[in-house]
Amino acid sequence: MPTDGQMRAAESLWAVGNITGRGVVTRVSMYRARIAVRDILGRPGLHAA
């Protein structure tokens, strides 16, 4: 599932982990989950590479 730099797959839909097909290693998924959580909470932060 393609995502943007904030891990958004669609409006009000975020995707992390194996479903994205990228970075299926646990530590990469955790990094991207933190990015998604910040975006969900409306806090500024990093963009996923």
Report whether pLDDT(40) > 80: yes
Tell me the C-alpha to C-alpha distance, in Å, between residue 34 and each of 16, 26, 30, 38, 48. Answer: 10, 12, 6, 6, 10
More confident residue, 21 or 37: 37
pLDDT digits (tens, 9 = 90+) for 16-31: 988 888 767 888 889 9
Distance (Å, whole) CA 15 – CA 19? 7
Distance (Å, whole) CA 16 – CA 31? 9
pLDDT digits (tens, 9 = 90+) for 1-11: 899 999 999 99
Which conformational region is residue 12 in: left (phi greater than 0), alpha (psi within -120 to 50 degrees), or beta?
left
> Domain-by-domain residue ranges, the chain?
1-49
